[in-house]
Structure 1
């Protein structure tokens, strides 16, 4: 079959020449240029490939199948011969396959299994602008393998809308750009009506498009639910105008996808309702009009479930432009946007790595053996740290982030780490078929129309649907999707036999406790609706919950609220199974704590499961060491104000903190509230030795403990550079007042002194090796403020004459000389005769 001409064809010689000279390349080509289907075959005969395979990452399964099918047809072959594909739960490759189109997770598996990528000569990352986490990880692993093991490996990053120049600089790679194949597209905004549902607006826009323009219509919608609603809304219109309305999304059977991607056999106009799978890498013949909702489902971290969840969000401007371009593939086209023209979209799609939960990434990094990889956008440190904490809880890694044997098994499943931990536990217990059901249920939306927080009801509905007994409140389509996913997991994990039809009451919880060890809950002793979680927090059941009264629960999904979290889904579990699974988490020990109601220490024998208190009994008098630790904990709980502060001690701490800021080279210790609270065991706990009450700590003992933070040299520097008192010209030593501001920074130090004591002093006194001027509060003979200044010279020159004129009559017994520069300083009413 003769291949059609594509804009990318003129660039193919340059691509071959670049890759012959350099192992990396950034290729920019807009939709329609042909990069996905023309570049891989063009490289098959290159000398550097040496007969090895080309692996191309395609972010979406629909696009992967379509690209492989198109290339195979151009070669006059079937998929699985020279060109094949591998996606999750499906593959068509053979020993003859030289071009493999794979989805992103497949490349990660290939690199983890064989970092040398034996038999692979080139990795192509298509549609990299979509910035999926798996694509970013795959590129980082490939670059690491190229640098350490495979300098001959070619890596090509292909993108339609990403900043290719910046990416080329980051990769240290050449950059080539291709023109697109596109006709002019007229863009208009189709106004919505007040409180109009999306499907109604879509129906009006499609009706207008069919009446006003030729060709097929492509409608972009965020997900399957919106597609189904739009199909129902378009039903009468499709019947009246003899129009075929077709759906296109990643969950459709392969045959249905292929039908949409081929020209209609009956010649009818078509309306294709698609998710963002149609943005790139697939061609829909005959489309002249695009109707764009401006919405998409993208993964976001859901703290309620602990999983990444698909969330409906506004698309970026780059995606909107790419969608509109679909209308201009074959001729002039039109694009209708279903949002106001005044709405401004984000310019580019944000990388998933910046906004999803990262435990899967952390597990892959642990399996790789290094986190020191080159990411286009590095993983956020906070999110990565939280992910590593979860892996340790699941038993996947040790304290040094190294993979454990269980972690290796979890990584091999390809499931989210929480679900992988459950699958590994189920394999050991013979419950793997049931675990596959739970993976499918947790990964899908609720199939029940009536809200229920009992996950077991969803599983029973799934089991009933398999025997043809569909519950009245269940959605047949939703259950069919869940059942298909569970079958795929059983096939992947080689589970023999069918899914279970019935299980014991606690079987679900006994598996889910391995996926959610941090969400195990125990009933409150006084309130049957409240539960204490293993992380120490509280949760509550809804008033109409069917889980009320269950002693133990596993809570896969919580809604975090200001006081108690709400249990969204839960399932009972058996305590004996919990003890068998996690014996090390059940502990019994004597604990000493401060009882604020009794103002005394209590020693109790406490049984716990993690943060859950199961039983408390009195245990006699506290041991001295435990008492000191408990008193320090009480201070940690109530704050430093519980200690016997004096004004002298407050001033001393303010001096230390101020001098620490003014002269950082002295390296004085941090005595801020957070620093003192974090080091209580080091400086305060020894002072509580032998004590059983907070008020038994004397001021002297507290002062000694606090001041122990400074060694002799530090104390000497403190007195020298931040003295508590300074001598003024009258011969008296007057106190300097130090203070800290709200941010624990130094406030200006204050010297309050009678004006007559400073006669003859021209310059403002300074401390901290001359770096800080004192703020002078100049007082009257009665000690009342006359002036505040940090510039004494200016005061004598400009302000003193006015003060003298006013004060001389009020305080006639005190000196008010015309020349303060040469007057004798005094703190008395009359200056003494020499």
Structure 2
């Protein structure tokens, strides 16, 4: 395709340039293949809109290189003149460069080193719909710079599938320009039935590619796969099954640029089959593609709490991604798209992929924000989760990168490294030598020896000598991963001096919260210094170690399985974290033993390295631990304490301001009960505790006077006996022998409101005979029936004809009378 051929974006360029000229900001929405990536920067340059350089951000290195080359070709120049690029580890720019294409992380570094962006007149955020963390941060910083320092800074956001209206609103209602684009018709073909649950992706994709080549005899074929491993396996599965004129070209991010260029270049003869990752979804031109085979999977960065960093995970594609992939078949001519799923399965697909800020590790973002100075006022399209931000701040504080929320000199050094702060901290503390650089690269990459035991030292041995490792171990080494690790280690290395730290110590520098101490018992179960539990498969060589660093765990929230670890000795741990290892006096309630445990423990985080009895623990500490036990056991309500509480409840219902004696209120603070817990250490002692005196002290003298006046604790009988009044019912109540109430002709009441008592009259044997709130009525209407039933059963007790005039008594007649 001639670089000067008309493209769909051309019709929208005048409107876009006018908007930028008038407002200095705009959002451009254009479908894949419209030509926005290569046309827009050149049009802005030609129109003279920008005094300085135009900086265009691309989410991938390959897209940055190829788009720069395409624009340079349009101008008839080599890359590095008017148009250049800058990616990690490589730059082609000169003093003449006016358009510089960079990857997104480079913009963040440029802003942090020069907030005024001296010499830069415009920022273009290309493919913003991918919503990478760096793009979101870059736009937020750019908008703040424009608002505070550079009102002349031009900002353009370009997107293919994103709902662009929210972006325009974020930018202060910037003009929204839409290009309809132009694409040839693409026929979509789905599977007739779903794949079996255990079907493997690679053989199914290989079969579908062969089918597509047979049914579509013209043009190249682009197959989408999640990653390099799947690409290599599909390539192997296609061997011997393709027509002789077919050439297979892999395309993924970590392959040499020359090989990437070969995958993108037109095929001189025969048919080209490109096996690509999501790198081929946008920004790249593959001019001879007429057929797309979509495997329906994509690999994206997700925060993995098990490794403590972002990892690549394989997920189902979204509808937006599937549509972008489909459009690749209709760039130059009508095409066909084969999908490795049924049409009915599309209903369960998400509409758009989540923004990286919603799912990624936010530790690098928090570090960048601390370096910037403040996150307040920054405009994020999707605000970061406050809880995740707080966790990231805690981690950075533990690494010494933050102090009281502010960045330290060490934090500034970590921000300058192209590494996760964990690994950057390890590299810095180890002096940047080859050992630390290699381990950093190993921990940032996928496992080079899958299926091997979890010992990290095995991985380091495989990196150092892959062939020798395979000769001595029954595990295959992934040579591609090994080469990437070596290349990354070479780039990270800051010096030649070998590290004084062991691999376990280096890993502990990166993961101070993952030091694992084996628990007592036969099973290899561990407690991590961060407080979580972990377990290792029994029989593995590391399982017998007392201490190790867990660098990778599975997702079990209760007790994670250790998938990768490095052993460390206690001496090595003390040499590394000596100032953080301290003796702690512990006086706690042991739920398991049901008593107060007082110990003196030497701790590193949640790990107990030494444990001794604390015989002279202060009485208050023991009492507070006993109170914690009482919280677990529940308030021991004796009858007397329960009656006191019931009186208080009744008074509070009447409007008094007496203390709240509910269980929740009493257990909220220990101070009221501590003096009464002295010497109590066991569950049995706590369950036998009578709270009455403690509650009376809590109520206070004035409160008790009010309580005694409004709700007396006792009723005095005609025999001057004090009967406790039960207030824990619909009405206050007493229970006493029927004979003790002889002579009472008015129903008893209580308190200033003369509340009638609920009187339960008992037989001489203590059984209830009648409960009444009208004693005179009982004497008149019911007593005779009770007398007839009871005097035969209790003949020695008085049962007078008229109880209203009889004397109260608790005595029985002498025997024989």
Aligned to 1:788: none
Unaligned runs of 5+ in 1: 726-733, 739-749, 754-780, 785-810, 815-831
- Correspondence 1:190-269 to 2 at 5 A: 190-191=191-192, 194=196, 195-213=198-216, 214-238=218-242, 240-265=243-268, 267-269=269-271
Q: Secondary structure at the match of 1:290?
A: strand
1:107 is aligned to 107
Shift of 1:616: 2.1
Alignment correspondent of 1:458: 459
Aligned equivalent of 2:398: 393
The answer to whether the 8 Å contact 2:518/2:545 transfers is: yes
**Deviations, residues 212-256 of structure 1 (Å, cap 9, x unaligned):** 222111111111111111111111122x34211111110110000
Deviations 1:497-525 (A, max 9, x none): 8xx7xx89x71111111110011122335
Change (3 A) 1:133 1:520: same
Judge conservation of contact 1:521–1:555 (CA < 8 Å) in 2: yes
Q: Residues 287-317 of structure 1: CA distance to partner in whole angstroms, max 9, x if unpaired?
A: 1111111110012222221121111111111
Question: 1:5/1:611 Cα in 2 relative to 1: closer, same or farther (>3 Å)?
Answer: same
Paired residues of 1:397 and 1:403 also in contact (CA < 8 A): yes
Query: Which shows bigger deviation, 26-35 or 168-177?
Result: 168-177
Contact 1:291/1:335 (<8 A) preserved = yes
Give the drift of 1:687: 5.6
What's the CA shift for 1:210? 1.6
Structure 1 residues 597 and 152, CA gap change in structure 2 (3 angstroms): closer
Q: Cα 1:14–1:600, aligned 2, differ >3 Å: closer, same or farther?
A: closer
1:422 aligns with 2:411: no
TM-score (norm 2): 0.80
1:164 CA displacement:
1.5
2:625 — aligned with what? 630
Q: Residues 614 and 3 of structure 1: is their aligned pair in 2 closer, same or farther, counting only changes over 3 Å?
A: same
User: Structure 1's 118 and 489: CA in aligned 2 closer, same or farther, altered over 3 A?
Assistant: farther
SS at match of 1:414: coil
CA RMSD, 1 decimal: 3.8
CA contact (8 A) 2:329 2:336 kept: yes
Q: Distance in 2 between matches of 1:467 and 1:273?
A: 32
| 1:464 and 1:471 in contact (8 A); partners too | no
Provide the secondary structure at the position in 2 that maps to 1:548.
Answer: helix
Matched, 1:700 2:703: no
Distance in structure 1 (CA, Å) of the matches to 2:360 and 2:164: 24
Kept in 1, the 8 Å contact 2:191–2:343? The answer is no
Partner of 1:680: 669
Q: Which residue of 1 aligns with 2:608?
A: 613
Counterpart Cα distance in 1 of 2:712 and 2:35 = 79
Q: Which whole-Å deviations, capped at 9, do the CAs of 1:104-141 have from their partners, x for residues lacking one?
A: 11111111111111111111111111111111111111
In 1: Cα distance, 2:726 partner to 2:586 partner: 47
Contact 1:448–1:473, Cα closer than 8 Å, also in 2: no
Matches of 1:119 and 1:519, distance apart in 2 = 45
State the Cα distance separating 1:530 from its structure 2 match. Answer: 3.0
Q: Which moved more, 1:482-491 or 1:641-650?
A: 641-650
CA contact (8 A) 1:437 1:483 kept: no
State the match for 1:37 in structure 2: 38
Task: Give the TM-score taking structure 1 as reference length.
Answer: 0.79
CA 1:702/1:312 → structure 2, altered by over 3 Å: closer, same or farther? farther
Following the alignment from structure 2 to structure 1, what is the Cα–Cα distance between the partners of residues 662 and 25?
A: 52
**Are residue 541 (structure 1) and residue 536 (structure 2) matched?**
yes
For residues 16 and 415 of structure 1, what CA distance do their matches in structure 2 show? Answer: 38
* Residue aligned with 1:142, SS: helix
Equivalent residue, structure 1, for 2:297: 295
Deviation at 1:618?
2.5
Which of 389, 414, 417 is matched with 1:413 structurally?
A: 417
Match of 1:307 in 2: 309
Mark the CA change 1:537 to 1:454 in structure 2 (over 3 Å): closer, same or farther. same
Alpha-carbon distance change, 639 to 436 in structure 1, aligned in 2, over 3 angstroms: farther
Query: How many positions carry a matched residue from both structures?
Result: 722
Rounded to whole Å, the distance in 2 between the matches of 1:716 and 1:244 is: 97
SS for the counterpart of 1:680 is: coil
**Aligned equivalent of 1:348, options 352, 369, 386:** 352
1:324 is matched with 326
- Secondary structure at 1:151 match in 2: coil
Are 1:602 and 1:622, in contact at CA under 8 Å, matched by a contact in 2?
Answer: no
| Aligned-partner Cα distance in 1 for 2:253–2:647 | 68
Which residue in the other structure is 2:445 paired with?
444
Is the Cα contact below 8 Å between 1:132 and 1:353 reproduced in 2? yes
Q: Summarize the Cα distance change of 1:329–1:186 in structure 2 as closer, same or farther, 3 Å threshold.
A: same
Find out whether 1:572 has 2:567 as its counterpart. Answer: yes
> For 2:14 and 2:662, how far apart are their aligned partners in 1?
66
How far did 1:151 drift?
A: 1.4
Equivalent residues of 1:632, 1:680 under 8 A apart? no
Which of 548, 551, 554 does residue 553 from structure 1 map onto?
A: 548
The structure-2 alpha-carbon separation of the partners of 1:391 and 1:598, relative to structure 1 and needing over 3 Å to count, comes to: closer
Q: What is the deviation of 1:455?
A: 0.6
Query: 1:403 matched to which residue of 2?
Result: 407
Deviates further, 597-606 or 527-536: 597-606
1:21 deviates by 1.5
